[in-house]
């Protein structure tokens, strides 16, 4: 197979204007390649979102590569050095929306699997792909729905590699072995509206909430653990007042978010927040929204297999990290005990002139291929 096969496939994918949740035909391209090497395809469309589950083999272990074909909007096109959906090679880089996040990873998945299957057509275990077009959006009809469908038929995954861009300075330097959870709250503290010149006739909810806010901001929620930093609580928005300068408001709305580790649970965080609010005697309403549970893959067979593949390909000793926001790994962890994220450098993701180093593309494919060797080939 020619050494530029991954680059060429990445360029074909980047040329598709697959703005969330529009797949723009990217999945058809991937599916055609996978069917040629013996994958069985299950297309799963939910709402406006195209997804597919592909599998080669019926035995365990099941090794899944997971990713998304959708990309974020380009921003002002005139600020790009070249057209965002025209893959462009310049100064050793491949430019285009989705180059790093994450069409190059998808291309490397496919070419890496093609090379592995060509060398090991009767491989043990199973190889799978889970691909969605709704990771960058609301992520309601994407990976989460596919996982639920697989769970319903008891089709579980043993190892999963998510192709998110994880690396900081050089390819292979960072392996994401978990992500923090995200728990948001919308708090409405109630007071009594009145004329500001007669404060004794009302109750200022902003004043009432302030001591509770201070306590929440200074609370230690947990100490974190070996893999995670301590849980954080942050206010994102506060809204109060009528716009007039002579009216004490009747309510204040406060939106906050926890980024939390496996050292806490949703229930423990909620209970502690309510206890603090109640201790200040507040009259309030509080609505909760969980957008992602934390997950963690400790050191073990998948970490070892991927880390060795990285070292053999690049010479780099990968570091484990749980930093960053949420990813679709949070859904896959429900049916897979070991989930890792490894992809290209993340310095330009979601930016103008998103790009990936051409010199990193084939090594990324090789990391994925060698991971399959390490997990499925008896030595």
The secondary structure of 262-273 as a DSSP string is: TTS-HHHHHHHH
Angle between helix axes 104-119 and 5-14 (nearest 10 degrees) is 140
Angle between helix axes 358-376 and 301-314 (nearest 10 degrees) is 140
Q: Which of 70, 115, 141, 354 is catalytic?
A: 70
pLDDT recorded at residue 3: 60
Rounded Cα distance between 309 and 374, Å, is 8
Name the pTM for this structure: 0.88
Q: Strand, coil or helix: what is 30?
A: helix
Cβ-Cβ contacts under 8 Å for 199 (sequence gap 6 or more):
248
Q: Which of 22, 23, 101, 135 is catalytic?
A: 135
Rounded Cα distance between 231 and 181, Å, is 9
The helix (run of H) or strand (run of E) holding residue 255 is: strand 251-260
pLDDT recorded at residue 138: 87
Which residues, in sequence order, are bridge partners of residue 66? Answer: 130, 162
pLDDT recorded at residue 2: 43
The yes-or-no answer on residue 328 being catalytic is no
pLDDT recorded at residue 286: 98
Angle at 251 between CA 245 and CA 252, to 5 degrees: 85
Per-residue pLDDT of the chain (379 residues), as tens digits, is 346 899 999 999 999 999 999 999 999 999 999 999 999 999 999 999 999 999 999 999 999 999 999 999 999 999 999 999 999 999 999 999 999 999 999 999 999 999 999 999 999 999 999 999 999 988 899 999 999 999 999 999 999 999 999 999 999 999 999 999 999 999 999 999 999 999 999 999 999 999 999 999 999 999 999 999 999 999 999 999 999 999 999 999 999 999 999 999 999 999 999 999 999 999 999 999 998 889 999 999 999 999 999 999 999 999 999 988 788 999 999 999 999 999 999 999 999 999 999 999 999 999 999 999 999 997 6
Cα Rg of the chain, angstroms: 24
Instruction: Locate all alpha helices (DSSP H) within the chain, ordered by sequence.
Output: 5-14, 26-36, 104-119, 143-152, 205-218, 266-279, 301-314, 329-332, 358-376
pLDDT recorded at residue 146: 98
pLDDT recorded at residue 1: 39
pLDDT recorded at residue 343: 98
pLDDT recorded at residue 327: 87
The yes-or-no answer on residue 135 being catalytic is yes
Measuring CA to CA, which residue among 344, 342, 337 is closest to residue 306? 342
């Amino acid at each position: 197979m020619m050494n530029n096969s991954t680059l060429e496939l990445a360029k074909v994918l980047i040329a598709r204007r697959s703005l969330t949740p529009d797949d723009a035909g990217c999945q058809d391209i991937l599916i055609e390649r996978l069917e040629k090497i013996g994958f069985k395809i299950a297309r799963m469309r939910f709402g406006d979102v195209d997804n597919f589950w592909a599998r080669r083999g019926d035995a365990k272990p099941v090794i899944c590569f997971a990713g998304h074909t959708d990309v974020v909007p380009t921003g002002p096109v005139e600020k790009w050095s070249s057209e965002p959906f025209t893959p462009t090679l310049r100064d050793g880089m491949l430019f285009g929306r989705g180059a790093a996040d994450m069409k190059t990873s998808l291309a490397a998945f496919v070419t890496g699997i093609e090379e592995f299957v060509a060398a090991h057509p009767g491989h043990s275990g199973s190889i799978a792909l889970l691909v969605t077009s709704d990771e960058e959006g609301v992520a309601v009809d994407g990976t989460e729905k596919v996982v639920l469908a697989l769970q319903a038929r008891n089709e579980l995954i043993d190892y999963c590699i998510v192709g998110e861009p994880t690396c900081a300075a050089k390819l292979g330097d960072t392996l994401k072995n978990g992500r923090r959870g995200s728990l948001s709250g919308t708090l409405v503290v109630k007071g009594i509206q009145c004329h500001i010149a007669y404060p004794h006739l009302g109750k200022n909810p902003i004043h009432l909430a302030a001591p509770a806010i201070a306590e929440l901001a200074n609370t230690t929620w947990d100490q974190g653990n070996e893999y995670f930093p301590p849980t954080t609580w942050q206010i994102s928005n506060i809204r109060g007042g009528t716009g007039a300068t002579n009216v004490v408001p009747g309510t204040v709305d406060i939106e906050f978010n926890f980024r939390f580790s496996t050292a806490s649970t949703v229930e423990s965080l909620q209970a502690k927040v309510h206890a603090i609010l109640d201790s200040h005697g507040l009259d309030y309403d509080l609505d909760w929204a969980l957008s992602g549970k934390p997950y963690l893959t400790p050191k073990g067979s998948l970490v070892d297999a991927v880390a060795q593949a990285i070292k053999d390909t690049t010479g780099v000793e990968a570091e484990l990290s749980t930093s960053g926001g949420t990813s679709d790994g949070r859904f896959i962890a429900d049916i897979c005990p070991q989930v890792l994220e490894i992809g290209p450098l993340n310095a330009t993701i979601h930016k103008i002139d998103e790009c990936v180093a051409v010199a990193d593309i084939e090594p990324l494919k090789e990391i994925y291929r060698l991971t399959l060797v390490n997990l499925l080939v008896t030595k």
